[in-house]
Amino acid sequence: MNLSMMPYHLSPEERTTLYGNQNPNMINLAVAENVLLFEKYLKNVFGDCSNLSVSDVKYVTAATFEDLQRTAAEFLSDSYGLTGDRRLGGEDIIGVSGVSAALECLAFSICEPGDSVLLPTPCWQGFEWCLSYRPNVRLIKIPLYPAEGFELTLKAVIAAYSSTEPKPRALVLTNPHNPLSINYDPAVLRSIYEWVLNQTDMHIISDEIYFHSQVGVPRHKFVSAFAMEPYSKDRVHAAWGFAKDFGVSGFKAGFVMTRAQAVLNKIKSQRMASLSPFDSLKIFMLLGKLLKRDSGQFIRRLVPVYQKELTNQFTLAKQALDRNGIKYFGTPEAAQFFWLDLTKYLGRAPDAPVMSAKEMRFWAHPEVEDERERKLDAYIKRRAEVALLPGQTMFCPAPGWFRLCFTCEEIDKVTEAIQRLANALKALGA
């Protein structure tokens, strides 16, 4: 394959979206999005913009920004179940343009260029662009393997830390997990926090973007970094945004959450939030229409409604996968994914036909090193007309795993895609 023709500037998810635009029959389950709330619950909320005033399209004032941060901090503290001095105040959170920007702000404020951080994999591929591209932080991956159930252990964290010189500045966690769709076991997390905070100088950055996305009654209860014991005000930081839990990914609205004065000072003094801003229109929409609606009760009532919708969608998608004997990792209990185990089909997909240069641009993911995974991905796209996200785009250390997002389309489309996928896999005869 001629890799020089690959558009490296696109993320794997953007690539599948562009591929889908050129192939209208394709169902794209590769992108992490959530359509469960908009039509039924949010269309009315965001539909009415008629009372926009000139102040809503001017630069955001400090007072409006503080109002947003205070209101969001109250909502998030309630959702996290934080009490007493663990509750977040408006001064502990900073609104920026998405969780990507929040992670970048944390990298800029905690690390110096050339520093490294530990990152368990598989994980969201965007950590690379948030942490590495501009902050110039090296990612030291902690590969978690299917044979060990992709389990994050204290032993693996210690091993990665011990073999890294100079010592890493932070451990980066995703909880709930993308793509594994689990909440980390609180006991395991506790042991990791204890070791990191007591035995090293590392910070912990917890990406909690999926934390309201809880499916049914999860096996492990989600515990936020701010509710964790032990805890360090100066070295524990988190990020959350509206993209996934409230299905408004295009708004690019997220928060840095930290009580570390030095980190807050650096973000503020270097005006990072002005460079990756939470702009006035977004604030009009999210603060005025969502966070403050019915004195804050609307969004609080929306969370259990969303969790019910999420659980229904999950159940129907799971039935379709089970009916067709498509295997996946564990039982998803949070976030929005099935982590499909298609390893038995590796090496069975036929060679792809010769492609036009135009087709080549969006057809394959150059991040996928394993030729068999690449071929299987291409086969699924061509034969089933379904796009999944191949695991090696998410730094999965073993080939054959694919992420299926079950919330990015209405259920009929998701189940149709699963049926088409099943038919295509059956044709491979494994």
Ligand X SMILES: Cc1ncc(COP(=O)(O)O)c(C=O)c1O
Nearest distance from C-beta of residue 199 to ligand X, angstroms: 27
Burial label for 291, CB within 10 Å (0-12, 13-18, 19+), is buried
DSSP summary character for residue 380: I
Stretch that binds ligand X, among 19-27, 97-105, 186-194, 392-400 (CB under 6 A): 97-105
Minimum CB distance to ligand X smaller for 172 or for 384? 172
Nearest distance from C-beta of residue 98 to ligand X, angstroms: 3
What gap in Å lies between CA 29 and CA 343, rounded to an integer?
19
Site for ligand X in 103-132 (CB under 6 A): 124, 126
Which residues is 405 bridged to in the sheet? Answer: 337
Which position among 122, 241, 277, 391 is part of the footprint of ligand X (CB under 6 A)? 241
What gap in Å lies between CA 56 and CA 195, rounded to an integer?
47
Which has the closest alpha carbon to 384: 423, 337, 355?
A: 423
Stretch that binds ligand X, among 241-249, 265-273, 317-325, 389-397 (CB under 6 A): 241-249
Q: Is 209 in the site for ligand X (CB under 6 A)?
A: yes
Which position among 243, 283, 364, 378 is part of the footprint of ligand X (CB under 6 A)? 243
Q: How many residues does the chain have?
A: 430
Q: Tell me the number of residues near ligand X by CB under 6 A.
A: 15
Nearest distance from C-beta of residue 32 to ligand X, angstroms: 4
Which position among 69, 178, 181, 343 is part of the footprint of ligand X (CB under 6 A)? 178
Nearest distance from C-beta of residue 245 to ligand X, angstroms: 10
Nearest distance from C-beta of residue 414 to ligand X, angstroms: 18
283: alpha, beta or left, given left = phi > 0 and alpha = psi -120 to 50?
Answer: alpha
Stretch that binds ligand X, among 95-103, 138-146, 271-279, 349-357 (CB under 6 A): 95-103
Q: Is 254 in the site for ligand X (CB under 6 A)?
A: yes
Burial label for 205, CB within 10 Å (0-12, 13-18, 19+), is buried
Tell me whether strands 236-241 and 254-258 are parallel, antiparallel or unpaired. Answer: antiparallel
Q: Is 215 in the site for ligand X (CB under 6 A)?
A: no
Q: Is 249 in the site for ligand X (CB under 6 A)?
A: yes
Q: Is 12 in the site for ligand X (CB under 6 A)?
A: no
Nearest distance from C-beta of residue 63 to ligand X, angstroms: 25
Minimum CB distance to ligand X smaller for 71 or for 125? 125
Site for ligand X in 280-339 (CB under 6 A): none
Minimum CB distance to ligand X smaller for 257 or for 384? 257
Which position among 12, 20, 95, 98 is part of the footprint of ligand X (CB under 6 A)? 98
- Residue where the block lists tokens 């032990």: 230
Minimum CB distance to ligand X smaller for 64 or for 178? 178
Calculate helix-pair angle for 62-80, 297-323, nearest 10 degrees: 50
Minimum CB distance to ligand X smaller for 191 or for 249? 249
What gap in Å lies between CA 176 and CA 152, rounded to an integer?
13
Nearest distance from C-beta of residue 11 to ligand X, angstroms: 9
Minimum CB distance to ligand X smaller for 367 or for 385? 367
Minimum CB distance to ligand X smaller for 241 or for 288? 241
Which position among 28, 77, 100, 206 is part of the footprint of ligand X (CB under 6 A)? 100
Nearest distance from C-beta of residue 124 to ligand X, angstroms: 4
What gap in Å lies between CA 224 and CA 111, rounded to an integer?
23
95: alpha, beta or left, given left = phi > 0 and alpha = psi -120 to 50?
Answer: beta
Query: Is the distance from CB of 373 to CB of 347 less than 8 angstroms?
Result: no
Q: Is 154 helix (H, G, I), strand (E, B) or coil?
A: helix
From residue 401, alpha-carbon distances to 73, 270, 367 in Å are 37, 41, 14
357: alpha, beta or left, given left = phi > 0 and alpha = psi -120 to 50?
Answer: alpha
Structure tokens at 54: 């000139």
Which has the closest alpha carbon to 308: 208, 214, 420, 199?
A: 214
Minimum CB distance to ligand X smaller for 237 or for 252? 252
Q: Which residue is nearest to ligand X (CB)?
A: 98
Interaction mask 23-62, ligand X, x per CB under 6 A: ---------x------------------------------
Cβ contacts of 290 within 8 Å, gap of 6 or more = 42, 45, 46, 242, 246, 298, 299
Q: Which residues are near ligand X by CB under 6 A?
A: 32, 98-100, 124, 126, 174, 178, 207, 209, 241, 243, 249, 252, 254
